[in-house]
Every structure is written in C-alpha cells, then in structure tokens.
Amino acid sequence: MKRLAVIANPHKTGAAEALEQLREWAAQHGVQLSSNLDENEGIAEPPARAFDAERRAALARRFAGCDAAVTLGGDGTLLYAVHIIGPLGIPVLPVNLGSLGFHTQATAATMLQCLTAVASGNFLTEPRLLLETTIEKPNGSTADNAAQSRLLALNDVVVSKRVWGRMVHLTVLVDGYTVSNVSADALLVATPTGSSAYNYAAGGPILAPSLEAIVLNAVCPHRISFTPLVLSGNSVVRVRLQQRKPIELAQVLVDGQPWLDALDDETLKISRADVYLPLITFKDDFFRKLREKLAWGGLN
C-alpha cells in the first residue's frame, strides 16, 4: 500500500487522536496519507453537513489513486465517505468512534492492527450494493445540475414529507409498471446494507448484506395500504409526487442527508449503481452484529 485516504469526523471524540495515530503509522510504513482535514479546516467541514457537490468533488480528486481508505467516526461518517470514494472503487476500513457502528470493522484500539493487516493484504472485501439516484424532468431529460445528475447511496433514498402533520402522496413504479399510489409520511428505497437502518425502524425486513436486492417500504402509510417489498437488485424504481394541496410538500434525502428541498414535477429514478463499495472485512459475523448492535436475543 502506497497511498491511504482518511475521512475523519472532527466532531467525534477521539477523531483527532486517531488521525494523528494514522499519520504516525503511515510515516513509519512509508505510506502517503491524505485526509479531508489536511488543509487545517477543523470543524469547518463536518461530514454531517448537507450536500456540497464542489467539496465532495475536490476530495474525490484528492483521493484519486489511493489504495485504500479509512473512515474515523461511525456509520454516518461511512455514509458521508461513500459519496466521495464510492466512484473510486477503493476498499474502505470503517473505524468506529461512535455509539453503534453497525457496519464498522475496527475500533480505536484495533485500528492500527487492522490497518497493518490491510497493508500486508490479509483482509477480505465484501462488495456492498449501492443505489444510484437521478432526477428526470417532465420532458424525459435528466437534471443538468451536477449535484443532481448522479448520486450514490449506501443505505437508502427517502422521499419524505416536509410539513409536520401532513403526508406525501406518491406514485411508485417498478420497471415501468405501476406498483401503487402511496400516502404516507415517507417512502424509502433501501439497499441490503441500509435494510438494518431506517427500513428496520419502519418495520421492514433486514436483508443479508450480500444479497442483490432492493427494499421498498412506506413509513406510517395511510390505512396500512402498503406492505414492504423486496425487489430484484436489477429493478428500476421511479417515484412521482401527486401533490393534492400546496402544503403537501416532499423532500428527498440520500443516506439521511437532505438532497432536494422539494420534488415537484420531476420523477425520482432509483436503480443499482454500476459500482460497489468494497467494505474491508476480516471475520465478519452478521448475526453477531444483529444480537449485539440491535439487541436481538442472545444465545444461552
């Protein structure tokens, strides 16, 4: 390994110390390290902020040619990193500095040991399906805004209400066929990775992360009129807003972050991306994570 990319969440306790440890490790092993905090930006560039296409494009250029990436934070930091390094196709080692860390493989205590294993090639990668979302205009063209032309999601894409006490009315199509008109607080389209997140909280099924599948789920549907659906990973989902009143506004969130303030006459297209996220693993026990991270019943 010659070059290492690091994306750190400066708001996380221990992130600065972990980054300094990585810099020392890189110097000792002759590895060039680049991070999102290399310009002394401090907390001016937190991973949790809304989408900034120019910033993300600049980081992607900085990390181009790296052999691997490390994220310092939690699951949210990994989600942020996906939109930067996902198109680069480099393996990612998520380090958990947060409270849950469902998709992380290392902790602050094991980080350097894991990274040494990665540098020597003693690791596996688990390809995680990514969603690609685009906006289609009424005339059939795609959005010419660079921030809306193509965006990746590791967890989910959500069309949500914007006004408390209201709902959104949506038409959902799969592969050109109308599935249903959905009236709900939100509609979410989740990957197997994201099936254990918002989808799970909304009563949807958890999928094994290796599956090639997509989940459709409605949040608090009116009259319980929509049952979660598991679709082929090759399915193409389109969502259209059927606004009945001016106050019934919809917004689009990608991996939990606001992407579009409003969905009006456009169609939201969601499909499998042409790239996968190579998540670094060592000996992953998915069911142990369900027991420990989601407090499922343990074994006697």
Are the C-beta atoms of residues 128 and 75 closer than 8 Å to each other?
A: no
DSSP 293: H
- Report how far apart the first and last C-alpha atoms of the chain are (Å, whole number): 43
Angle at 105 between CA 215 and CA 45, to 5 degrees: 80
d(CA 116, CA 280): 13
As a three-state string, the secondary structure of 253-274 is: EECCEEEECCCCCCEEEEEEEE
Tally of CA atoms within 13 A in the half-sphere of 216 that contains its CB: 25
Q: Judge whether 261 counts as a catalytic residue.
A: no
Question: What amino acid occupies position 222?
Answer: H
Kindly state the helix (H) or strand (E) to which residue 231 belongs, with its residue range.
Answer: strand 229-232
Closest CA to 260 of 154, 163, 134: 134
The catalytic residue among 38, 52, 67, 75 is: 75
Instruction: Report residue 290 as tokens.
Output: 């369900």
Buried b (16+ CB within 10 A) or exposed e, 43-67: eebbbeeebeeeebeebbebbeebe
Catalytic residue numbers, as ranges: 75
